[in-house]
Structure formats: structure tokens, C-alpha cells
Amino acid sequence: MKKRSKLPIISLLALLLVLSLGGGFFAGKALYDGDEISKIAQKFGLASGPGEPSGAPADSVAESVIEISPLPENTDGGYETTYIYEKVNPSVVSITVYSNQSIAALGSGTGIVMSADGYIITNAHVVNGGTSVNVTFSDETDANGTIIGMDTTTDLAVVKVDRTDLTPAEFGDSSALKVGERIVAIGNAGGLSSTMTQGIVSGLDRDLGEGARSLKLIQVDAAINPGNSGGPLINRFGQVIGINSSKIASVDYEGIGFSIPINEAKPILESIISHGYVTGRAVLGVSVVELNSSNGPINGLPSEGVCIMEFTADSDLPGQGVQLRDVIVEANGVDIVTTDDLLTELDKYSPGDTFNLVVYRATTRKTYSVDVKLIESVG
């Protein structure tokens, strides 16, 4: 493998982006929490955009399972940041994504070496829409990468390179984190590879999903910039305990970044490696908009419930007589006021199960009951 020249310094752009409909988070691309659209538009089993996984799932993950290491016996203070950098940086890569529609890069981000045999963790939004990936290592060598799979709902993805000599990161127990604990982040910030920032854990179990099946996130005040997406959040012992995924960026906000806890990410990543997607997740196969007193009545719809805006090709609902703009108001005897209510019920079931809905139709101003079959989400 030949060395490549260093990436040129690029100017940072202040981006204000709405939370994606698929529930993914854009770290280093900014979240703006003031737009009501981000609070009502959600997806349930609807593909969120281009970029299907380009690689075949691995037949075995025996060498690729994340092992969670215990804290060292001496938990006082932790290691100096210089030592943490030297320990973890060889396990951090820069990812550049291309599509077959353009020779210019589609985007870039960061990745974490998961195993010596080439599995690399990153964010789904880093690789989504891409058809080829270039991975640059800390020694400035590079390799072509294959997108094994992604889960846009939790913003996790796995890339594979054809190497067996990589340095995997050491992973720690994210459930042991405490507010105020020192953490560091390493990433490809603004095209500047191996950039390290430091801060503390500002909060735990943060929910930014707005009704999507997102994970509870770690909030940090360490600088998370464009290009940090998919990079490691590291505890004071040099253990990766999170995957940097998002930030709130605006003139009114400073130092509010978010990271996916590694304990929560572990089974999702392992399912992606084995199958290319997260198995066993039941969905209706619809896109919905959450109704409220502002957007419902003005359109002749209730002020509560979720309005069906689109069906996937494999959804069972159209075959059972459900139509677009019908409003789901009850599921299995539970009132559905918000998208969170519906997701809570869906999480109790498996693909193939029968799911009862009570649906309101505006054209008749009546509700009806229907039994539908749940399908499996594949992305």
C-alpha cells in the first residue's frame, strides 16, 4: 500500500440541518431543534434514501464481535490525554465516500477499527448514498472499503477493508459513565485527520429521536465538528465508550454534542455484520406525520394520532383497505396520540405478527378496525 498525501485543509461551513426523517443523527452536520417539521415527520420501515449496502454480509462474526473491557482496577484520575491519543489514534480512520454518479467525493467522516480483520464502525449518514469508500489510516496508508450495511434509524454503519493487520480499539462499558467524567474525541474534523478534543460528559440518556427508534445518547461538551461523525468518544482510560454522531449548532448553542453509547450500539453493529441490517425489527411499512392542534384540524384531520403519508411496497396495509391520509388513532387497544406511542407498541411485536389498528378516515368521518401483518425493517 502506498502512502497518500495529506488531505488539504478545507473551510468549515456552518450548517443548520433539520433532524432527518429516518431518525438518523448528523454529527458534525448540525441539528437545529427549532423546526416543527423535525417534530412531526417520522418514518416506520420506509427506506430513507439512496445508498443500499454494497457488500455481502459476513458469514461469521467470530473475530468481529465487540468485546467490552472492564475499567482498570485503579479508577482514579485516568490516563493523560497524550497517552490516550497515542493508544487510540491507530484505531481511528478517515472515511471518504464516493458515488458512481460523480468523481468528486460525496462526503467524509471518521471510523473506528472494530477488528484486526478489517471491520470498521461509522455513522450511517456518513456512507448513506455512497457506492464506494476510501479508508485512510493513521499511518497515511489507504484502502478501498465496502459498505457491509447500515441502520439509518440508529445512524450506525459498518465498513470492511481487505486487511488483517489493523489495530482494533479497546471498548469500554458505556453504562459506567457518570456526568462530569472526563472524555476525549478523535476524528477527521473539517478534513483535519487525527484531531483530538477534550471535555466532560454533560448528560446521559438524552433522547433526540422525536418519535423515531433512536438510541439514548451521551451528551458531551467536547468539540464535535464536521468530519467527526463516526469517530470515537473515549473515556479517561483510553476505552471507546461511544460513537460521535451529532451536535446542536447555532449562534444560540455551544458545546452540545452527542454520542451513541457503545453498549447500545454493540448488538446493532453485530447484526449489521451478520445480515447487512438489523434483524427482528417490526414495522408497518408506512411513512407518517404526527398530528397536533395546528396541522390536524386545518387539514380536516384530528388533532391527535399519526397520519399515513406513504406506503412501502411490502406493506400489508393497502391490501387491508388502509388508505393514504388515514389516521392511526389506536393500536392493540392503546390510544395513539404521538409517534412514540405507536413505536412503543411496535417494539412489543415481531415481524409476521398480527397488529390491530383503529383508523380514522376523514372522507367518511368514521373510524374502522383492521388487522395487519407486521413486516421486517431492513434499514
| Residues taking part in catalysis | 125, 155, 229
Q: Closest Cα partner for 27 from 231, 229, 199?
A: 229
295: left (phi over 0), alpha (psi -120 to 50) or beta: alpha
For residue 298, give the DSSP letter.
Answer: G
The neighbour count for residue 11, using CB atoms within 10 Å, is 6
Distance CA 244, CA 258 (A): 6
Written as nine digits, the cell of 89 is 489514534
Give the bridge partners for 186, in sequence order.
Answer: 196
Distance CA 311, CA 87 (A): 48
Residue 35 identity: D
The neighbour count for residue 371, using CB atoms within 10 Å, is 10
String of DSSP letters for 114-135: --TTSEEEE-HHHHTT-SEEEE
Distance CA 195, CA 103 (A): 27
Residue 378 neighbours by CB under 8 Å, 6+ apart: 277
Written as nine digits, the cell of 27 is 454529527
Give the bridge partners for 109, in sequence order.
Answer: 95
Distance CA 346, CA 229 (A): 29
